[in-house]
Amino acid sequence: MTELAARCVHAGEMDDPQGSPHSPLYSSTTFKFPSTQAILDVVEGRTLAPLYTRYGLNPTILALEEKLAALENAEAAWAFCSGMAAEAALFVSHGRKGVICIGDAYGGTLELLKDQLPLLGIPGHFLLGHELDRLPQLLQQGAGLVFFETPTNPALEIFDIAAIAELAHRHGALVAVDNTFASPVNQQPLALGADFAVHSCTKYLGGHSDLTAGAIMASKELLAPIWGWRKNLGQMLAPETAALLARSIRTLPIRVQQQNANAQAVAEALSQHPRVSRVLYPGLDSFPGKALAARQMSGFGGMLSFEVAEGGVAASAVADRLRLFALAPSLGGVESLITQPCTTTHHGLSAEERARRGISDGMLRLSIGLEDPKDLIADLHQALAT
C-alpha cells in the first residue's frame, strides 16, 4: 500500500489505450455489448463492466470510485451527486431502526433527520457533546446507526471516533463519520473503527468550489444495501463531475497540508488580537479538544472559528469589511471564505438553541484557502481595525 499522496494520483487511473496519463472522460449514458450473454453477465452480477451511467456502471465513475475508496483505505466507495444524496442513501438503507446524530451536524443533515426521515418512519435522536452520557441508553433502545461529524461545524468540537465506535458496536449499531471537515488527509475514520466515512466532496475533495458531489466509503458488504437506493432514487453524479472530482483529488494532500499550515498561522494571529475574545482551532493549545484531536488527526484542518468580543453586529461589520475573504457559505476550496453562523448555517435556530450549541452571535467561521497567510492575516487585521 502506497502513501496517501501516491494513491491520490494513481488509484483508479485506467490504462488508456491512447496513452492518456489519467482516466479519460466517458460521457456516454449507455455502453455496447458484443452479445446477449455478455450483457447478461453484467446484469446478473457475474462481471463488473460499463452498462448504464445512472447505475454507476460508467468507466469514469468506476475509476473515481476506486480513487475515493483508496482515500479512506476502504474496500469500496460509492459516489453520489451531492453530500446530502450520500447521507440520505446511508440513512434510508442503514438507519431504519433509528439514527443517533451526535453533535452539531450540517444544517441539511439535521433537517433531513428531523423533518423528512420521520415521515418514512425513520426516527432521529439528537445528542449534543455534553449529553454523550445518554448514548448507551439510546443504543439500548435499538437505534441502528450512529452518525457524527468531527470536527463539527462551526465550533470545531472533537468526538472520539474509536471510543464511540467501540460503544456502538457493543450494542450492535453501525457508525458513520462525516469526514468532510477533516478530509482523509487529516483523519481516517475507518482506521479508527468507524464503519462508514461520508463526504461532501463539494468541499476539500473537489477543492475549487466548482463541483457538487458526495461519497460513502465502507466495506463491500455494508455498501451493498445502498446500491439499489442510489440507483432508483437517481442519485448518480454526472461523468463530467466525476472526471473533475478525480482531477481535484490528485492534488488533495498538497492543498490540505498548506491549508492546515495557513489555518494554524491565522488562528495564532487572531488569538493575539484584542477584539477577538475566543479562537476555536484544534491546533491551538487553548483549544479544549486539542489532545484528542492530536491523537486521532494527523493535521488540524483548514477550518476555524473566532468570536468578535463586541457581539453580532460588530462581527457582521468585520465580515463585510474583509477584501480577500469572500462572504460565502461552503468550505474547503482554494479561496478563503467567511460566514457568520447566526446569519447563515444556524440562522434557523433560536438564540437559546444557538447558545446551547456554543454558537454566539459574534462568532465568525473561516474556511482557509491557499492564499499566503500573511495576506489573510493582513486582511483580518484591517477588517478588525475599527
- Shortest distance in whole angstroms from residue 286 CB to ligand PLP: 24
Using the structure block, give the residue that is written with the C-alpha cell 460509492: 78
- Cβ-based nearer residue to ligand PLP, 42 or 85: 85
Give whichever of 195 and 379 is closer to ligand PLP, judged by the CB atom: 195
Could you tell me if 367 and 333 are in contact, meaning their C-beta atoms sit under 8 angstroms apart?
Answer: yes
Nearer to ligand PLP, 60 or 179 (CB): 179
Distance CA 60, CA 81 (A): 14
Query: Which C-beta is closer to ligand PLP: that of 138 or that of 245?
Result: 245
Q: CB of 240 within 8 A of CB of 59?
A: no
C-alpha cell at 348: 434557523
Q: Per the omega criterion (within 30 degrees of 0), is the bond before 329 cis?
A: no
By beta carbon distance, the residue nearest ligand PLP is: 83
**Least separation, in Å, of the C-beta of 332 and ligand PLP?**
8
User: Which residues are CB-contacts of 72 (< 8 A; sequence separation ≥ 6)?
Assistant: 179, 184, 188, 189, 190, 197, 217
Output the smallest distance, CB 331 to ligand PLP, in A: 6
Cβ of residue 148: shortest distance to ligand PLP, in angstroms?
10
Cβ neighbours of residue 129 closer than 8 Å, sequence gap 6 or more: 102, 103, 152, 157, 159
Helix and strand counts by DSSP (H, E) for the chain: 15, 12
Kindly list the residues in this chain that would bind ligand PLP in the complex (CB under 6 A).
82-84, 106, 108, 149, 153, 178, 180-181, 200, 202, 212, 214, 330
Nearby residues of 274 by Cβ (< 8 Å), 6 or more positions away: 309
Q: How big, in percent rounded to 5, are the helix, strand and coil portions of the chain? A: 45, 15, 45
Task: Supply the minimum distance, in Å, between the C-beta of residue 212 and ligand PLP.
Answer: 5
Peptide bond into 189 cis (omega under 30): no
**In angstroms, what is the minimal distance from the CB of 37 to ligand PLP?**
40
CA angle, 323 then 328 then 331, to 5°: 110
Identity of the residue, 276 or 303, whose beta carbon is nearer to ligand PLP in the bound complex? 303
Q: Catalytic site residues? A: 54, 106, 178, 203
Question: What's the Cα-to-Cα distance from 193 to each of 15, 94, 183, 187, 293, rounded to whole Å?
Answer: 34, 17, 16, 12, 16
Closer by beta carbon to ligand PLP, 299 or else 333: 333
